[in-house]
């Protein structure tokens, strides 16, 4: 199919690069020189000459690969927006003016990036057209000493956003990053778009914008919000151009149907699959070297994606976290957020409002009132062979579907296939489970089936509900166990139930059932009163006999014939009475009453006083 005019190429974004730097160090000018895009998009930004909110531009690298450039605000008052823009980037472009050198916001921006795990990038030493060689060299040395002090290695490229000097070298340095920086989640993961703007365009409707963190979004997709809304994607733009699909790293605008502007705002997150929000997060918390000690129980500001909420920090096994140290801890949030394992976040103090640290989400929905440090350490190690058994032991008898395991471990959905060799763990029926749980469930089910066969050979089958209960496992895992046994030929499973393959009715029981059925047929209308026996239960299970009253039974074909008699009688006389039916069938009151009550129970007739009439479906022949 030919691509519509104006439709952007669907080549994926290779890298999302976040600019960082002090106010008036030339970030926006440099971005404009490299991309031709003015990322100062608000009137107030132009009037004041500073960036207030993150700006975005698409950058074509010398190799032809595409990068998404996030120009974040540099002013101290707009650090919150800087955190929003920096979250989700893969590499940095640190901008330092040659006439100023490293400044306070240079350091804070880099602190935020380091907290978010962004430690690879390039430094652009700007405004070299405005200084002499000695000043430029001193500024370059200042940058190198600062980078060394925080343990980061990055090339320093001298540039001028005004004259264009050094820009080509800078682009080549950024291009080389693509070979070394490993982007975050990929296309096979859940699509996640943190919303940084939501507005209404006349004639278009609700539009939201954000940088796609993972997965893909296509026109027509139904997305999910934190609150449970399900907006549909009408159209997509990538970096201002119409597109068929939005991929990871792309600056994305979505036109949404099925949601009002009052129902969605900045801070929301759109997902391709529903994901429950959380108010409690267990994490590895890190405090910056220059921060004050962090006390257990202190309230902070929690920044994650485009969301910021107040939170209380609970440290594991300590009353205080010293500067430059890290610890396991729990964050109790004052509003719900959508978080996944491995997400980075930033913590800022409430007064004064400065960046103090951050961390990594380990368990976005922890269980229990206390931190399980052993569990969190296993998660942090990222070793599937440790994490999976630990997760399964936390929910004995439950198992975990593959999609839930993806939320727990640092493995993308596309890499988790179910064939992993993990000691003590099996993959059965699309679920991971403890081998011991599965083996015990199988033993219990097979034992229950043998006991049923030996005790009731006429009815050797367990219903599905009975089979699940027999395993002692949760429903999903129990079904997986039954399915696995059936595929191995150890049980027979059908919609009606589960039985042993050898569970055939004994010949002597078959013979007794045949004799009993013959007796019921001969009895006709005067159905005999019987005590339940294996032979009778076998006939009832097969539907060859029916119960028409307490301890009164008849052959199925006799019952069918009697129902036809009752229908015919009602149609002839519009009704049927007990006496009239007794006389018609030349039988006693006892049997006539039993058959009429059977017809009531089958929904053929209904009683009106001492008479019976056909129900509507039988009056109209709808049977």
Q: Which CATH architecture has domain 192-271?
A: Beta Barrel (2.40)
The C-alpha R_g of the chain, in whole angstroms, comes to 36
- The pair of structure tokens assigned to 509 is 């029981």
Higher pLDDT, 400 or 57: 400
pLDDT 10s digits, 216-263: 999 999 999 998 999 999 999 887 788 889 888 778 889 999 999 999
Domain ranges of the chain: 13-180, 192-271, 278-377, 382-504, 515-619
> How many Å separate Cα 411 from the centre of its chain?
14
DSSP letter for 600, please: H
For 39, 204, 211, 341, 548, the CA distances from 90, given in Å and listed in that order, are: 19, 32, 12, 17, 75
pLDDT reported for residue 9 = 46
- Spatial contact of 421 and 450, defined as CB atoms under 8 Å apart: no
**Cis bond upstream, residue 352 (ω within 30):** yes
Which of 356, 354, 351 shows the shortest CA–CA distance to 76? 354
For residues 146-156, one letter each, b for 16 or more C-beta atoms within 10 angstroms of the residue's C-beta and e for the rest, the string is bbeeeebebeb
Average pLDDT, the chain: 85
Element at 584 (helix H, strand E): helix 578-585
At the top level of CATH, which class does the domain 515-619 belong to? mainly alpha
Residue 83 has pLDDT above 90, yes or no: no
Listing DSSP states for 379-446 in one string gives HHHT-HHHHHHHHHHHSTTT-EEHHHHHHHSS--GGG--S----TTEEEETTEEEEHHHHHHHHHHHH
Would you state the torsion angle of the CA atoms of residues 608, 613, 617, 619, taken in this order, to the nearest 10 degrees?
-140
Mean pLDDT confidence for 21-36? 85
| Class of CATH domain 382-504 | mainly alpha
How confident is the model over 30-53, as pLDDT tens digits?
988 888 765 434 333 333 332 323
Query: What crossing angle do the helices spanning 167-180 and 27-35 adopt, rounded to 10°?
Result: 90
Torsional sign, CA 369, 373, 379, 383: negative
Tokens linked to 276: 């429950």
CATH class of the 278-377 domain in this structure = mainly beta
Q: Specify the pairing of strand 498-499 against strand 545-549.
A: unpaired
pLDDT at 127: 95
Q: Which residues pair with 245 in a beta bridge?
A: 218
Question: How are strands ordered across the β-sheet holding 205-211?
Answer: 197-201, 205-211, 251-257, 232-238, 241-243
Q: How would residue 413 be classed by pLDDT, with cut points 50, 70 and 90?
A: low
pLDDT of residue 8: 42
Strand segments (E) across 442-529: 492-493, 498-499
CATH fold match for the domains 382-504 and 515-619: yes
> Which of these, 486, 497, 495, 494, lies nearest to 462 by C-alpha position?
497
Side-chain half-sphere CA neighbours of 207 within 13 A? 15
Q: Top-level CATH class of 13-180?
A: alpha beta
Residue pLDDT, tens place only, 286-325: 999 889 999 999 999 999 988 899 999 999 989 999 999 9
pLDDT of residue 72: 61
User: What's the half-sphere exposure (Cβ side, CA atoms, 13 Å) at 496?
Assistant: 7
Of how many residues is the chain composed? Answer: 623
Contact 215, 190 (CB under 8 A): yes
Residue 3: pLDDT band (50, 70, 90) is very low
Structure-token pair, residue 501: 């393959």
The residue assigned the tokens 């009731």 is 456
Question: pLDDT per residue over 580-619, tens digit each?
Answer: 999 999 999 999 999 999 999 999 999 998 899 999 888 8
* 35-49, 188-202, 332-346, 357-371: the lowest-pLDDT one: 35-49
Rounded Cα gap, residues 75 and 269, in angstroms:
26
Residue 591 corresponds to which tokens in the numbers above? 């049997």
Residue 540: C-alpha distances to residues 140, 461, 536 (Å): 92, 14, 6
Report the pLDDT value the prediction gives residue 41, as an integer from 0 to 100: 43
> Among residues 259, 121, 249, 237, which one has the least CA distance to residue 194?
249
Q: Measuring CA to CA, which residue among 241, 253, 246, 255 is closest to residue 202?
A: 255
Q: What is the pLDDT of residue 88?
A: 65
DSSP bridge pairs for 18:
70, 92
- pLDDT of res. 84: 56
Residue 211: strand pairing partners: 251
Beta-bridged to residue 286, according to DSSP, are 326, 358
Residue 86, pLDDT score: 52
DSSP assignment of 2-50, as one string? PPPTTPPP-PPEEEEEEEE--TTSSHHHHHHHHHS-----SHHHHHHTS
Q: How far is CA 434 from CA 389, 473, 583, in A?
A: 7, 11, 68
Phi-psi region of 127 (alpha: psi -120 to 50; beta: other; left: phi over 0): left
């Amino acid at each position: 199919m030919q691509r519509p005019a104006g439709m952007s190429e669907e080549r994926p974004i290779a890298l999302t690069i976040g600019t960082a730097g002090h106010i008036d160090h030339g970030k926006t000018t440099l971005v404009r020189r490299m991309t031709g895009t003015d990322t100062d998009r608000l009137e107030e930004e132009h009037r004041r000459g500073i960036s207030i909110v993150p700006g975005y531009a698409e950058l074509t690298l010398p190799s032809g690969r595409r990068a998404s450039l996030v120009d974040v605000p540099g002013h101290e008052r707009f650090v919150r927006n800087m955190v929003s823009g920096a979250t989700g980037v893969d590499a940095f472009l640190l901008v330092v003016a040659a006439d100023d050198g490293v400044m306070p916001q240079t350091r804070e921006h880099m602190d935020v990036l380091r907290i978010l795990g962004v430690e690879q990038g390039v430094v652009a030493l700007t405004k070299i057209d405005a200084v002499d060689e000695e000043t430029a060299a001193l500024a370059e040395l200042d940058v190198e000493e600062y980078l060394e002090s925080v343990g980061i290695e990055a090339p320093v490229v001298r540039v001028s956003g005004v004259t264009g000097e050094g820009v080509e070298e800078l682009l080549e340095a950024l291009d080389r990053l693509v070979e070394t920086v490993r982007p975050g989640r990929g296309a096979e993961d859940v699509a996640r778009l943190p919303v940084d703007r939501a507005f209404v365009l006349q004639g278009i409707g609700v539009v939201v914008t954000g940088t796609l963190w993972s997965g893909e979004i296509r026109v027509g997709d139904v997305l999910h919000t934190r609150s449970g809304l399900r907006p549909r994607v009408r159209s997509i733009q990538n970096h201002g151009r119409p597109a068929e699909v939005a991929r990871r790293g792309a600056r994305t605008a979505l036109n949404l149907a099925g949601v009002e502007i009052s129902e969605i705002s900045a801070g929301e997150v759109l997902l391709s699959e529903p994901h429950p929000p959380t108010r409690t997060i267990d994490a590895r918390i890190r405090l910056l070297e220059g921060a004050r000690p962090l006390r257990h129980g202190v309230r902070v500001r929690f920044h994650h994606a485009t969301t910021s909420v107040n939170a209380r920090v609970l440290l594991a096994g300590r009353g205080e976290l010293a500067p430059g140290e890290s610890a396991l801890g729990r964050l109790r949030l004052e509003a719900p957020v959508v978080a996944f394992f491995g997400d980075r976040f930033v913590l800022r103090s409430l007064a004064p409002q400065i960046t103090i640290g951050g961390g990594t989400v380990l368990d976005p929905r922890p269980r229990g009132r206390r931190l399980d440090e052993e569990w969190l350490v296993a998660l942090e190690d990222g070793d599937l062979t440790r994490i999976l058994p630990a997760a399964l032991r936390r929910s004995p008898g439950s198992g975990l579907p593959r999609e839930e395991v993806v939320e727990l471990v640092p493995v993308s959905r596309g890499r988790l296939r179910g064939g992993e060799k993990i000691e003590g763990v099996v993959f059965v029926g699309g679920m991971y489970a403890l081998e011991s749980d599965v083996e015990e469930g199988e033993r219990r089910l097979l034992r229950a089936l043998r006991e049923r066969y030996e005790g009731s050979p006429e009815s050797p089958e367990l219903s599905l509900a009975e089979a699940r209960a027999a395993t002692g496992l949760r429903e999903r895992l129990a079904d997986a166990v039954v399915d696995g046994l059936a595929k191995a030929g150890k049980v027979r499973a059908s919609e009606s139930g589960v039985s042993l393959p050898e569970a055939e009715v004994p010949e002597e029981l078959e013979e007794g059932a045949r004799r009993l059925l013959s007796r019921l047929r001969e009895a006709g209308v005067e159905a005999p009163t019987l005590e339940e026996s294996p032979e009778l239960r076998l006939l009832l299970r097969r539907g060859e006999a029916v119960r028409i009253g307490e301890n009164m039974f008849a052959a199925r074909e006799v019952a069918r014939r009697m129902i036809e008699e009752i229908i015919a009688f009602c149609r002839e006389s519009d009704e049927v009475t007990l006496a009239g039916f007794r006389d018609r069938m030349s039988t006693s009151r006892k049997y006539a009453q039993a058959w009429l009550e059977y017809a009531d129970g089958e929904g053929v007739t209904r009683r009106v006083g001492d008479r019976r009439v056909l129900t509507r479906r039988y009056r109209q022949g709808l049977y």
